Each structure stands twice: as C-alpha cells, then as structure tokens.
Structure 1
Amino acid sequence: MKKHFIAALAILISTVTFAQKKELREAEKAIKKSNFAEAKSILGQLDPNSMDDKYKANYYYLNAEALYANGSANNDDIAKALKSLGLIEEGLETETAELKTTMVQSFVTQANEAYEGKDYSTSSKNFENAYRVSTRDTLYLYYAAITASGVQEFDRALVLYEELDDLGYTGIEVEYYAIIKDSGEEEVFASKTMRDLSVKSGTHIKPAERITESKREEIVKAIASIYKSKGENDKALNAISKARKENPEDLNLLISEANLYFELGNNEKFKELLEVATAKDPNNAELQFNLGVLSQDSGDLDMAKKYYDKAIELDPSYVNAKINMAAMILGKEKALIEEMNSLGGSPADNKRYDELKAQRLEIYKSSIPYLESVLETDPSNIDAAKTLMNIYSATGDTAKQKAMKAKVESLGGN
C-alpha cells in the first residue's frame, strides 16, 4: 500500500512538473510574439514556490520580460518586473544581463526625451527605473531626485535624496574633455577612450581632465529644505548636522547650517556659526558682510562697521556692504533731526542747533565715499545716485549736485 502511494505521488509530481514546463514554454512563445498580456495571464496561474529550482529562474526571467513589455509597461508593472529580476538567484546570467542592459538603455532614452520635452515627472521616474536596474549607476538616482524636486514632487524627491545620502553619494568623478577644433568650444566626453579617439581623429585638440565638484552639500540642503517646507524643522537640522559630523571641515556645509538657523529665526545660532566659519575662512567677504548685518540689526554699529569695512577690503566691488555702510551712517541723522526739531529759540537752543547741524553735515560727508564707490562699481544704481544728489545739495556742493542730477535723469529718475 505504501509503495502504491509513493508511486502515485511520484506520478503527480512528474505531471505537475510537465505542466509547469509546458506553461513556461507557452509564456515564452507569447512574449516572442509580443503578446505580453497573454504571457502575464499564463504566468499568473503559476506558483514559483512550488517549482523545481531549475524552472524558477526561467519563471522569474519570463515574468520580468512579460511585465516589462519591451518598455511599454506602466510604472507598477515595471516595479514588479524589477522585483522579479531580483529573485533570480542563479541561472540565465547572460540573458538577465542582456535584458537589464536593454532596460537601462530604454529608461535612459525615455528619461532624456521626457526631460527635453519638459515632462520632468516622467523623466524622473525613468531615471529612477534605470537606477533600480543598475544600482551601480548612482548618477541616475541623482537625476531622478533633482527632476522630482524640480516639479515639486517633494515626498518622492525626499526618499530619493535620503537614499543618495545613505549611499554617501558625492557625484565626484573624473571628467574628460577637449576643445572642438573648428568652433573652439569645449566638449565633455563619456570616457577617456572616446575623448582620445576624437583627438586622434583630428576633430578635437587640447585634451584634459578635471575632478567635478561634490554634490554632497546640494543633496543635504535639498533634504533640509524639504523637511523645513513640511514644518519638520528638527529633521531639517538633523540632516545638516549629520552631514557636518561626517565632514567637519566642509565650510559649505557649515554655512548651510548657519543659513538654516537664520531661516528658522535663530539669529544667535546663525551668528555663532558664522563666526566659526569666518575663523575657518577669514578672507570670505560674504561672511564678513553677514556678520555686519547681524551686528547692525542688534544695534552694535561699531562692530557692524568693522565687518562691513573688512568685507569691502576683501572685495572692493562688494556693493551691498557699501550700501549698508552708507545707510547705517545716514541712519544716525534721525536722532539729530528729532533733537533739532525739539529745540526752542533761546540762545542756548540756537547754539545746540548749530552743533547738531554741524554733526549732521559730517554724517552726510562720511557717507559720500561709500555711495560714490557704489556708483563706480554699479553705475546704474539709481538709488545711490539719488541719495548722492541730495547729499551734494545739503553739503553745498553745487557742481556735483548738478552732475548727479543729470545722471539720475539719464537713469530714468526725476
């Protein structure tokens, strides 16, 4: 009785195996005829867990082909196709590699076409698909993230950016380029071999290479910005703080953290980090300027002047520092005017009035060099021109007042 049972079971297994093999062949035939719906229907009736190991790889491969449908599938089916490919443990290595290559090329082509057509959402999804097939090509994941962010698909972009962050992606690579002989323009090549062949053929000259800049700061700032827009400020700060711990000497990350605190209204922390940044990079005019703004806002005008003057010393063309200096100087006039208007007609009041008038004149004169310097750097700055015109008038410099009036009129002012 036991022998009959074993024999019956063996016949059943043989029958099932034969049926599986037959259905896999039918699915393969349907795929070759591009009948992907039929292939999916056939494969959907099979359970790979009940298959012999030698048929499992074939099932998962055919399932991926059917779902992918030569690139015409929707994103849900593409995701299932990629998952199916990932379940192939051994066997069909050559076929799987060829299918993956075809899929990557198709996704990248569709991504580029969508990008050129300004369909950035579709472009992003195709770049992501290309990466999911070939995870060594992290550049596709980066493209997917920035294009998703560009169309404000922030939740999806955040997932992609955080995946890049977890991978430690920097985007730093060697870039090979040469000059086009006929036009003199620079062309970047996909590889050193392609560049060298172009130079050898005579179409290009002056071959060279360079290291691209890190995209680390951009990625971290994007993560922080998205969290900030969602009102999750702690996560925004943690993103940059984490990156800074990994790269404590990265000045750009330090400044990004400082700016985030500023955007969140924490001026004290902003100033603290700016001072750290300034110590690391004492020749950075922008840092000096920002510290000047903070000092001015807090009422420490002497310190603000020190920072503004340092910014101008480091960068003589720094217009904003000159404008802020002039505005800060002229701001002292308000208190003098208020006191002048409060005085009576007594001899003592008249004497004090003359003293205040003289101080006011000195204020005007001390602002002139900064405003004149603004116009040297930015001749079309009509606000600086109008202010100078009025100051020349107040200081009695008629010739300069007339010249500046003509300049204001030439700039479209009254």
Structure 2
Amino acid sequence: MKRITLLLLMLATASVFAQKPVKPNLNKVLSSFKEGKLDEAKTMVDAATTYEKTMSDPKTFYYKGLVYAALDTTSNEAFKALDPNAFETALEAFKKGDEMNGKGKEFFVQEANGLPVLKTQQIAVWANGYLNKGATLYQEEDLEGALKNFEKVQKITPNDTTAYFYAGFVSNAMENYDKAEANFKKYMELGGKSSDAYSVIININSGPRENKEEALKLVREAKAKFPKNTDFPKVEIGLLIDLKRIDEAKSGLEAAVAKEPNNKILHFYLGYANANLNNNAEAKKNYEEALRIDPKYFEASFYLSKLMYTDAANLKKEMSSLGISAADRKKKFEIDKVLVDKLKLALPYWENTEKLNPSDQEVLDVLYSIYRDLGMEDQTKRIEKRYKELGLEN
C-alpha cells in the first residue's frame, strides 16, 4: 500500500513538473523566427509580453512585431491562420517597442554573416511587399485591392510619400474624389515633389466637383510651388475665362504669350478673351496667329469663323425683326445687299474649318445656312447629303 501511495505521489509530482510552463526566452524567440518556425516563435513571444522578466524589455515587442509581420505576409496558410489580425498586431507591437526603446536607439537583428539588419530595413521590406502587390493589382484593374494595399503601406510607413501618391491616383480612378484629394494633400504635406498631385486635384475641382474657384486657388498655389511648370499658367487662364474674369485672364495671357510666342494655345485663348471683350480686330489677329503656328488647329479656325460671321448674324437678326411695311421692305433690301457681302466674306473661313473637321454639326449648320442665303443650291445639296451620311437632321 505504501509503495502504491509513493508511486502515485511520484506520478503527481512528475505531472506537476510536466505541466509547468516553459519560461519565455527572447533568444529562443529570435532563433525560431530565423528558422521559420513561426508557430513556436509566436507562442514564445506572446508569453514573453506577460512574463515579468521580459515584459519590460523593448526587444520583446520588437521581436513580436517581427514575428507577427512574418505571420501577416507568410504564404504558409497554417501559420497565417494563427492570427487573422497579424497586420494590426505587428503594427501595435512595433509601436510599443519604439516607445519603450526611446529616441536615438535602433533595433536590429544580426544575420548569420555577422552583419546587422536594422528595423528600418525590415519595415521597408514589409512595406515594399504591399506596395508591389498594390501596383500589380492596379495593373490588373483591381482598384479596390490596390487601394487596400497602398493604405497598408501608409500604416507601416506613415511618412513615406509614395503610398499616398499611388493611393491618390487609384482613388481618383475609382471616382472617390474626397479620398483622392486627401491622399494627394497628405503627399504634398509630407514633401512630395510631383506636380501631378496638384494637376489631379485641380481637375477634380474644375471638373466633377464644379468648384472652379477652388480649382483657381489650387492652380495658383501650384504656380508658386512649380514656377518652371508651363501648364499651370494655361490652366489658370482657362479657369479665369470659365469664371468670366476676362480682363484678368487677358493680362495673364499677354504675359504668357510674350514668354511663349509660338504657343498656339496661348494665342487662341488670348483671341477668346479679346472676343469676349468685343476687341474683335485683336481677336482676329490672335486666332490667325494661332493658325499660322498650326494651320490644322480646329478650335482656332472655328472661333475665327464665328468671329467673321458675327456681322452677318447680326444683320440676319435685324432683318428678321422687320415688318412688312414699305419702309421695312426697303430697309430689308438695303440690309440684304450688305448681308451678301458679309456672307461671302465669312464663307471661306467656314469652308476651311469644315476641311479640318468634316463631321462637326455646328460647322455644317452654319455652312448650310450660308449656302441657302447665297442661293448656292449645289453646295446646299452637298451639305444635305453629308447630313444623311452622318445620320444628322437639318
């Protein structure tokens, strides 16, 4: 009986020793991590965060960050299943380790070759993995997936401009304009140097948001930050014209033309500004200069044609307002003689514009009206045929 009791006591004692938990050891955490035994490393480092001799050691949380970052990115599904929230856990562990470690100190792991790998290098590798994955998904047109990966990079390296830049473009492509603007503004706040960030948020405000005043404010900021950029002044001019601030636009255009005398767009805009100010003679010169630079510049030809048709259009309007009295009939006859001359003057401009774009309905409509007013039946029939070819109604 005594033997049995002693045997049971020995077994109970052995059982107690067998159940006694292993003391956490940071060296074992690191060796398991290096050997790819992430399950063992996780168990050990989790215990180390609550064990009194290791819970106050900054390296405990640095190692926990490494282990969980590895769990987050591993292709081993069994390891990945150990913690579905490994990404956030790794971030929190790294953050706590840094807070405990103090400023000016850098965590590192010594490789087999004896060289240290700094925490900043390890974090960069982690972030680059998500950056590359995001770029791949973007190329595959998985915009939501790409954005999620770029946003993870932002969490890993919150002061790196690249992820904000990419996230801005993806958000814009998704028509999530608030998020696009927020990303680009953060990019610029962190010191991003690309003027494309400004270009996109200017386009967002001048286009989808229809907030041209905000777009004008942004383009002027961009001009100050990127004085060598030749596009922002042109965008500013276009916005001023859209906002009906023509005088302001004209002065800016004249300065821009002086710097870029061979820029057809600037001459065109200056013509547009002058036409809106009823400086028709100057506008004509501006449009003609734009066409001298580029004879195939449709917009310049179109607006020049409209300018040359102005007198004829006004005369037709005046004639249509006259009555049937003898005095009115006499006046109509007098106006008609002047109208014919004005129509003949405008006609070659419109015919030239049609050559540049034979499918533009407004050009065809004006030509059709001129041909009818001048009694040019063959040409009228030609335009009618063209309408049918294009499926248009006249």
- TM > 0.5 fold call: yes
Residue 282 of structure 1 aligns to a residue whose secondary structure is coil
145, 161, 168: which is aligned to 2:184? 161
Q: Does 1:392 align with 2:354?
A: no
Structure 1, unaligned runs of 5 or more = 1-18, 171-214
**Residue 256 (structure 2) aligns with:** 277
- Structure 2 counterparts to residues 12-411 of structure 1, below 5 A: 22=24, 24=26, 32-34=37-39, 41-42=46-47, 45=50, 51=56, 55-66=57-68, 69-71=71-73, 76-77=88-89, 79-80=91-92, 83=95, 89-92=106-109, 93-94=116-117, 96=119, 99-100=122-123, 102-130=125-153, 139-170=162-193, 215-216=194-195, 218-224=196-202, 237=216, 239-262=218-241, 266-340=245-319, 341-342=321-322, 345-346=325-326, 349-411=328-390
Looking at structure 1, the residues matched to 291 and 272 of structure 2 have their Cα atoms a distance apart, in angstroms, of: 14
Looking at structure 2, the residues matched to 364 and 48 of structure 1 have their Cα atoms a distance apart, in angstroms, of: 98
Is contact 1:258-1:274 (8 Å) kept?
yes
Is contact 1:64-1:85 (8 Å) kept?
no
Q: 1:225, CA displacement in angstroms?
A: 5.0
Structure 2, unaligned runs of 5 or more = 1-20, 74-79, 100-104, 110-115
Identity %: 21
Looking at structure 2, the residues matched to 143 and 235 of structure 1 have their Cα atoms a distance apart, in angstroms, of: 23
Looking at structure 1, the residues matched to 250 and 202 of structure 2 have their Cα atoms a distance apart, in angstroms, of: 19
User: What code does the residue aligned with 1:335 have?
Assistant: N
Residue 296 of structure 2 aligns to a residue whose secondary structure is coil
Looking at structure 1, the residues matched to 154 and 39 of structure 2 have their Cα atoms a distance apart, in angstroms, of: 25
Looking at structure 1, the residues matched to 90 and 55 of structure 2 have their Cα atoms a distance apart, in angstroms, of: 24
Looking at structure 1, the residues matched to 360 and 286 of structure 2 have their Cα atoms a distance apart, in angstroms, of: 23
Residue 117 of structure 2 aligns to a residue whose secondary structure is helix
User: What code does the residue aligned with 2:388 have?
Assistant: E
Residue 22 of structure 1 aligns to a residue whose secondary structure is coil
Give me the TM-score of the superposition, normalised by structure 2: 0.70
Q: 1:401, CA displacement in angstroms?
A: 3.0
Number of residues paired by the alignment?
347
What CA deviation, in whole Å up to 9, does each residue of 1:22-71 have, x standing for no partner? 264676559833478757754654799973xxx42453232243256332
Looking at structure 1, the residues matched to 286 and 365 of structure 2 have their Cα atoms a distance apart, in angstroms, of: 26
Is contact 1:57-1:91 (8 Å) kept?
no
The two structures, once aligned, show a CA RMSD in angstroms of 4.1
Looking at structure 1, the residues matched to 355 and 213 of structure 2 have their Cα atoms a distance apart, in angstroms, of: 45
Residue 310 of structure 1 aligns to a residue whose secondary structure is helix
What CA deviation, in whole Å up to 9, does each residue of 1:181-204 have, x standing for no partner? xxxxxxxxxxxxxxxxxxxxxxxx
Larger deviation, residues 245-254 vs 229-238:
229-238
> Alpha carbons of 1:271 and 1:81: their partners in 2 closer, same or farther (altered >3 Å)?
farther
User: What code does the residue aligned with 1:32 have?
Assistant: K
> Alpha carbons of 1:220 and 1:77: their partners in 2 closer, same or farther (altered >3 Å)?
farther
